[in-house]
Amino acid sequence: LSDDTSARLTGSMTLLGSDAAKADVDVVLNKLASTAPTIDINAALNGEWQTKLIFTDSDMPIAGVGGGYLFHDGNIWPITSTFISMTFSDTSTQAGTTTLVGLSVQATDSSNDTKYEAAHSMIDHWSFNLTHMFGNVYILSNATPVFTPILMAVILEDENKMSLISSVHFTYDGAVEENRGMFSLDKTTAIDTFDLRNYVGSSWNAPSSVLNTYFESEEGIMLESRLASFDVSFPSADIADKKVTLSIKGAVEDTTGIVPVDKLSTTLTVENAGYHTWFGKTATGDLFTVTMISDRLAVLTGDIGYTSEDWYNADFFAFMWRDNAE
């Protein structure tokens, strides 16, 4: 204790029950004048929050600031970059709940192990329990019954900036997998200017993508696979009925070779889940999100197979570049 309002905390902790993963701690803590919140989270949290992307000189996106680690079967990989887009609604500290639509991806330094090069999540209008911890820090835990428990700490720095720490546990390949990520998000305050009708007939390709494919057994097995190529076009859209036709052409590379992917007509029922994020679902339950970063650049995610009782579950994340866009 330095004085009545500050202290230094030092020590070390063992992570994941293994001596191979330890963390040393040396931080200075300042006492809060009050544990009461200074920001009205009921109003501040509602809306869309997103990672701020950085662009290279050639307009290629680089995922924003983030961190954490992915752990599987005794191996641990640091998370090197993150992207996240989340839309909160119906936030109520009185009811202790909020509703969340979102997507996230964390790229890892996996030493070219394609099975663990990224962790990817999609959240489809799930209800989360909201608990005040202290100050402007809140804990979220998914109330919707799903296979994967999710725990998040939301730290509001002001009404338009937050840090988010997530903890997710899986069981794949017969081993427990743990994903702990940290994200920096800005609140999106712009007005929706993206009209889906303007993109009918457009074609997009993926300069950067991640694919994870799982064999759905009792414990789950992650398969070796990657997107060798991936192109998407939008032949038609019915705005009145909220229907969009999606055409996909590409190739998946696995241990057996190249597997073509050719879906000429997949119809999505879509809704606007943020000022420029569109959420789509097929008749079989496959999920897609499209987040428009600009008129030329979009983020596309998909979760395919898990609700139609197929033998597999595939999810992907891709930066999509519009062909021949002015």
Cα–Cα distance measured from residue 318 to residue 296, given in angstroms and rounded to the nearest whole number: 14
Residue type, position 217, single letter = S
pLDDT at 133: 95
* Tens-place pLDDT, residues 246-286: 888 888 877 777 878 787 788 888 887 767 778 888 887 78
pLDDT at 307: 47
Tokens representing 48 are 């869309």
Residue type, position 13, single letter = M
What's the chain's length in residues? 326
* CA-based nearest residue to 140, from 171, 114, 168, 115: 168
- Number of other residues whose CB lies within 10 A of the CB of residue 323: 12
pLDDT at 218: 47
Tokens 């070796």, residue located: 224
* Tens-place pLDDT, residues 198-220: 888 888 888 777 777 766 554 45
The low-confidence residues of the chain, meaning pLDDT below 70, are 15-21, 55-65, 110-120, 145-147, 170-175, 190-193, 214-224, 274, 305-313, 324-326
Q: What is the pTM of this model?
A: 0.78
pLDDT at 16: 63
* CA-based nearest residue to 274, from 285, 289, 286, 287: 289
Q: Which residues of 119-141 are buried (b: 16+ CB within 10 A; e: fewer)?
A: bbbbbbebebebeeeebbbbebe
